[in-house]
Amino acid sequence: MKIISGKYRGRNFYIPAGIRPTQGVTRKAAFDMIGQDMTGLSFLDLFSGSGAVALEAVSRGAAHVTMVEKDDKCAKVIEGNIDLFGLSPTQKQAQCDLLHMDAFVAVKFLHKQQKTFDVLYIDPPYHRGLLKKMLKTLGAYVIMKPASLVIIEHGKRETLPQESVERFSLLTHRKYGVSYLALYQYK
């Protein structure tokens, strides 16, 4: 797969076998929904998979990106992608962190660390009922700045609240191929 826009446009990155990576059209749509320029923003990618969305955010100017991935195989690929783009802590442009842990544990960990983010991207494995549970967890632990945006990628059979839930208000909900994107704003 390739980065579709920004500083690293056209650069290839690794994809772990056996996952459903966020396709280019869906990544483009997600950034169209929130604005193309991520300059200076902090970005949290929960259920990162390959790190494709977070790498796209870095390419578009995000000041700092945190990726969360529990799967060992995927975390190893993400580490390789961070090195490939020169974003590891041992290299000059350290602006990426990888938390190799469960996404729900990571939210609690980030809360304890008093980390906050401007944009969150949530893309759990489809059809496992994780989205509503994650929204409740995010409502209970403050890791977002005021008016933060939350992008949720989900499958056809998953329903999300159509107006507001916990501390989130729905701004838009759209279909892209087999994926759906919902954009919420943190209140």
Looking at the chain, the number of H-run helices and the number of E-run strands are 5, 8
Length of the chain: 187
In a domain, 174, yes or no: yes
Interval 75-120: pLDDT, tens: 999 999 999 998 876 555 558 999 999 999 999 999 999 999 999 9
Q: What is the pLDDT of residues 121-164, one digit of tens each?
A: 999 988 788 888 898 899 899 999 999 999 999 988 887 766 67
Q: Is residue 121 part of a domain?
A: yes
pLDDT band at 24 (very low <50, low <70, confident <90, very high): confident
State residue 168's pLDDT score: 85
Tell me the pairing of strands 144-154 and 117-122.
parallel
Residue 15 in domain: no
Strand, coil or helix: 179: strand
Identify whether 139 is part of a domain.
Answer: yes
Specify the pLDDT at position 94.
Answer: 55
Range of the domain at 43: 24-186
- Tell me the two tokens of residue 142: 């403050």
- Angle, CA 109 vertex, CA 101 and CA 96 arms, to 5°: 65
Q: Which residue has the tokens 């501390």?
A: 167
What is the token pair recorded at 165?
């839930």
| Residues 169-180: tens digit of each pLDDT | 889 999 988 889
Residue 15's pLDDT band (cuts 50, 70, 90): very high
Split at pLDDT 50, 70, 90, the class of 40 is: very high
pLDDT at 25: 86
Does the pLDDT of residue 66 top 70, yes or no? yes
| Closest-CA residue to 118 (of 24, 33, 39) | 39
Paired tokens of 17: 């076998």
Q: Is residue 6 part of a domain?
A: no
pLDDT for position 92: 52
Report which secondary-structure segment, H or E, holds 72: helix 72-84
CATH code: domain of residue 86:
3.40.50.150
Number of domains forming the structure of the chain: 1
β-pair partners for 68: 46, 99
| pLDDT at residue 65 is higher than 90 | yes
